[in-house]
Amino acid sequence: MFANKFKAGSGIFIKVCGITNQADAHVAIEAGATALGFNLVPKSKRYIDVDSAAAWIESLPHQVCKVAIMANPSREQVQRISRLSFIDAIQLHGSESPKFCRQLSDVGICFAKAIPVANSRSLADVPDFSTDTVVLDSAAGGQFGGTGKAFPWEFAREFALKNPNLKMILAGGLNTENVAAAIEQARPFGVDVTTGVEASPGRKDTRLVKAFVNAVRQASGRAG
């Protein structure tokens, strides 16, 4: 899925999510992010109107993966967004069913499925979502994603060991201080950060973005 723009041996896949403006996109790219996430969920504090932002997103380097975050969209909505020339993949972040995901896969839509993790039972009997890439994110206080809280990383490691055919991206409460430990413990394919590199919702802190990417690169080297 996301791997179509990720070269083998490049270390850990790094997605900076919640990008709302061109300046922050360039900060993340210059720091070394592999992918950028654009939140298309209207109720989100980091919502972006992808049509209004089309021109500057289109101008971003092609080698960086651009991911549209959607929650409980219709099949028609996913198809429309997936056809945009500047969007490389969709990340489904709601309660999308295995059947819905299979329908997207059947028509060749590139997507990942996010799975909420609230406790040790969250990752038991995870169904087949017809994608090789899953994002494990924290679920807390009725929220899924953008909580700024981490879940126990041993859950992610157990999931990865049980599902070696899946590319597991770790999200939820990651920041410059804990991402190295998270990588060491969970051994994910990639990491996904939002609140951990923000100055405020939807606005990135340049120093934190650079520090986060550097921490991931250093941890990736040790993990390898």
* Residue 65 is among the residues annotated as catalytic for this protein: no
∠ CA 115-41-206, nearest 5°, is: 85
User: How does DSSP assign the chain, residue by residue?
Assistant: -GGGG--TTS-SEEEE----SHHHHHHHHHHT-SEEEEE--TTSTTB--TTTTHHHHHTS-TTSEEEEEESS--HHHHHHHHTSTT--EEEE-S---HHHHHHHHHTT--EEEEEEE-STTTTTT----S-SEEEEEEEETTEES-------HHHHHHHHHH-TTSEEEE-SS--TTTHHHHHHHH--SEEEESGGGEEETTEE-HHHHHHHHHHHHHHHHHH-
Report whether 87 contacts 64 (CB < 8 A).
no
* Residue 192 is among the residues annotated as catalytic for this protein: no
Catalytic residue among 17, 65, 101, 110: 17
Catalytic residue among 24, 65, 110, 137: 137
The rounded distance, in Å, linking the Cα atoms of 176 and 196 is 7
Q: Which residues are catalytic?
A: 17, 137
